[in-house]
Amino acid sequence: MEKQIQKYLPLSESTYYILLSLVEPRHGYGVMQHVETISRKSVSIGPGTLYGAFSNLEKAGLIRAAGEEDRRKYYVLTDLGRNVLAEQIRRLQIMAENGDEVIPLLEK
């Protein structure tokens, strides 16, 4: 794995969900709603956390502004952001597979 990608991993839960939401362009409120929906309401990101994360992720080159409409600024993943997210998903898949192997032992 490239060092450029590795330095961002593992992603925090909130960062993971923000990046997952930005596979398509979304504005802040849209990201907050999408995160709640896809996490089945297990993750909720407030505006302060979200806009701080947007700033940090934009500086890191993982997201970029994708335009404005009706005073709403839209963001989307960069190529680096897509690669980081893909690697995080791969890591999570391995973790889930490891968990699936252990579940029968826990149920004894």
Tell me the fold of 9-102: Arc Repressor Mutant, subunit A (1.10.10)
Long-range CB contacts (within 8 A, 24+) of 7-15: 8/60, 8/62, 8/84, 9/84, 9/87, 9/88, 9/91, 10/88, 10/91, 11/84, 11/85, 11/88, 13/43, 14/43, 14/45, 14/49, 14/53, 15/53, 15/57
Residue 1, pLDDT > 70, answer: no
Q: Where are the domains of the chain?
A: 9-102
pLDDT tens-digit map of 10-46: 999 999 999 999 999 999 999 999 999 999 999 999 9
Per residue in 46-105, pLDDT (tens digit) is 999 999 999 999 999 999 999 888 889 999 999 999 999 999 999 999 999 999 999 999
